[in-house]
């Protein structure tokens, strides 16, 4: 008989069904046994009238009933089973008002009786046994949300004629900062794992692609142990041509996020509230925009002075600015704009008439930076000069500078961390929870 997902049982009439999944709990009472079965779509109560012993004249049906009773008594948490039985609708059943009376039970794969993690296990312990940790309904929901979120991003872009590209993750030289690159042997030479598709998505602009996006891995050799850093992460990137300023990039960025949040709220909003206690809403447009200098003034007026010497906000400054925006504008997002050129890459365009500022922004969400975007400098002579200012040798950037020697339109884009967005969306404490298999300075397994 064809397996039915638990979530699809409710509309079915009473009758014979087959379900399959893993055992979550067993209540083995004297006269009746209850099993909570969970599959990828939900949980279901199974019931079995217990047969504890056989008489001398027992028939085949009674022997089969005893075998089922004994099998249920021996079920360990996590054991995979397939069950055929009679579906019954009963409002008294707390688990969805449904139960299945077991007629046949097949133990497909037994689990060891001692489970290595529990509900109160530490995050590191749960990550050691991630394949078991992911059985939690909350964990499964995270990645259903991720799927919906990414699909909505792609739909937005494809509907607007963006081209999806897949840039290489092996590079001959640094994309931005050699200090944060993983170096590896590559035949007779060296290669580096890409920390960003920045140069390659810019290459698509003189190629005439116009609008491109990518959702792909990126790597940072950053020995940070914070809740929002990883050495391998999924980066969401977009770049497009013929913009007037970074305002065009921000307008696209906020529309994109509004579309993605709409999809998540419509499909998962009720589950998110039930499992995470978060009443997720779609952000209104436009997002607030605050220049960096004004952001510092707001934070200082609130009693905190950012200690960083480079002029950027620190995490506490981001939290305080976001709290101000929430209180003042009722908004979870804020664009911080007009960053100083000293703290931005050489390829960010400077303000016309003020080379000390760039046409760039950071996007904060619920108190944490999730993205950096900018208008790029497309004039090769200016790029060369700005690279020299940053201590870079133009000769090392020849392959990149060549993009700009044969005609390139004004363009800009952004990069955004997927796991951070999901972490902040669901009110979780670490991107380890919203990364399928986390990689950090001390974690390469599983």
Q: Are 337 and 363 in contact (CB under 8 A)?
A: no
| Helix H or strand E segment including 412 | strand 411-417
Query: Has 389 been labeled as part of a binding site?
Result: no
Known binding residue 85? Answer is no
B/e letters for 136-156, b = 16+ CB within 10 Å, e = fewer, are eebbbbbeebbebbbebbeeb
**Contact predicate 152/262, CB 8 Å:** yes
- Measured CA angle at 330 (ends 328, 336), to 5 deg: 70
- Cα-based torsion angle of the residue sequence 321, 322, 326, 328 in order, rounded to the nearest 10 degrees: 20
Structure tokens at 232: 């391998």
**What is d(CA 320, CA 303) in angstroms, rounded to the nearest whole number?**
10
Q: Was 417 annotated as part of a binding site?
A: yes
419 is in an annotated binding site: yes
Q: Is 130 annotated as a binding residue?
A: no
Determine if residue 63 is labeled as part of a ligand binding site: no
The string of DSSP codes covering 107-171 is: EEEPPPSS-S--TT--HHHHHHTHHHHTTSHHHHHHHHHHHHHHHHHHHHHHHTT-EE----SEE
The CB-side HSE value for 171 (13 A sphere, CA atoms) comes to 26
Residues in the chain: 446
Whether residue 376 is annotated as binding a ligand: the answer is yes
Alpha-carbon span 371 to 235, nearest angstrom: 10
Q: How far apart are CA 323 and CA 328, in angstroms?
A: 8
Q: SS3 for 197? A: coil
For the annotated binding site, the residues are: 176, 220, 369, 372, 376, 417-420
Residues forming the annotated binding site for ATP? 369, 417-420
Q: Which residues make up each annotated binding site for L-aspartate? A: 176, 220, 372, 376
């Amino acid at each position: 008989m064809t397996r039915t997902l638990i979530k699809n049982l409710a509309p079915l009439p009473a009758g014979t069904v087959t379900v399959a999944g893993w055992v979550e709990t067993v209540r083995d009472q004297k006269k009746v046994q209850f099993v909570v079965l969970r599959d990828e779509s939900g949980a279901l109560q199974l019931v079995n009238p217990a047969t504890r012993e056989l008489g001398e004249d027992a028939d085949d049906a009674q022997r089969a009933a005893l075998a089922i009773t004994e099998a249920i008594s021996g079920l360990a948490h996590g054991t995979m089973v397939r069950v055929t039985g009679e579906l019954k609708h009963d409002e008294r059943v707390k688990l969805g008002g449904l139960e299945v009376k077991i007629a046949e039970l097949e133990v497909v794969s037994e689990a060891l009786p001692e489970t290595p993690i529990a509900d109160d296990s530490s995050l590191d312990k749960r990550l050691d046994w991630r394949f078991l940790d992911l059985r939690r309904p909350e964990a499964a929901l995270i990645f259903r949300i991720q799927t919906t979120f990414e699909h909505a991003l792609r739909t937005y872009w494809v509907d607007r004629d963006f081209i999806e590209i897949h840039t290489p993750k092996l590079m001959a030289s640094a994309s931005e900062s050699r200090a944060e690159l993983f170096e590896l042997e590559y035949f007779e030479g060296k290669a580096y794992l890409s920390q960003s598709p920045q140069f390659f998505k810019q290459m698509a602009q003189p190629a005439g692609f116009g609008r491109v996006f990518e959702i792909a891995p990126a790597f940072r050799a950053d020995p940070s142990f914070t809740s929002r850093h990883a050495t391998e992460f999924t980066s969401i990137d977009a770049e497009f041509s013929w913009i007037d300023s970074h305002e065009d990039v921000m307008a696209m960025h906020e529309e994109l996020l509004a579309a993605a949040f709409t999809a998540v709220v419509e499909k998962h909003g009720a589950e998110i509230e039930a499992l995470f206690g978060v009443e997720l809403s779609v952000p209104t447009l436009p997002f607030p925009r605050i220049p960096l200098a004004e952001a510092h003034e707001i934070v200082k007026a609130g009693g905190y002075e950012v200690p960083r010497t480079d002029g950027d906000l620190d995490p506490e400054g981001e939290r305080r600015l976001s709290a101000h925006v929430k209180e003042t504008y009722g908004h979870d997002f804020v664009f911080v704009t007009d960053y100083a050129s000293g703290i931005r890459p050489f390829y960010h365009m400077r303000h016309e008439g003020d080379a000390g500022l760039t046409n760039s922004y950071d996007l904060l969400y619920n108190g944490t930076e999730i993205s950096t975007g900018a208008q790029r400098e497309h004039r090769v002579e200016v790029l060369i000069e700005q690279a020299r200012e940053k201590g870079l040798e133009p000769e090392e950037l020849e392959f990149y500078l060549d993009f700009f020697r044969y005609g390139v339109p004004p363009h800009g884009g952004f990069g955004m961390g997927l796991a951070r967005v999901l972490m902040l969306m669901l009110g979780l404490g670490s991107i380890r929870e919203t990364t399928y298999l986390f990689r950090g300075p001390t974690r390469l397994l599983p």
